[in-house]
Amino acid sequence: MTRAAFDAQRGPHGALLIGSSDEVVEKISRHSEALGGISRISFQINAASLPHATLMKAIEMIGTRVAPSFHGA
């Protein structure tokens, strides 16, 4: 992937979920609305290139800040 393609995909309308928990929630919500609803989403994190503490923080943020925004939706 080129840098230009990466930047496009991490932007507000791209497919990559990169950013704060609020940005991720907003992007998932926008994609869900555009697709007529989604029932599940998968996260892929490159565990090999991240320090363990960073990986654990990302997982914790998904579980405590992102996922609860969609429970019961």
Per residue in 46-62, pLDDT (tens digit) is: 889 999 999 999 999 99
Residue with tokens 């990986």: 55
Residue 4, exposed/middle/buried by CB under 10 A (0-12, 13-18, 19+)? exposed
For the chain, give the mean pLDDT. 92
pLDDT (0 to 100) of residue 4: 96
- Residues contacting 53, CB < 8 A, separation 6+: none
Residues of the chain with pLDDT under 50: none
Question: Model-level pTM?
Answer: 0.83
DSSP-H helix ranges across 1-73: 3-10, 21-35, 52-61
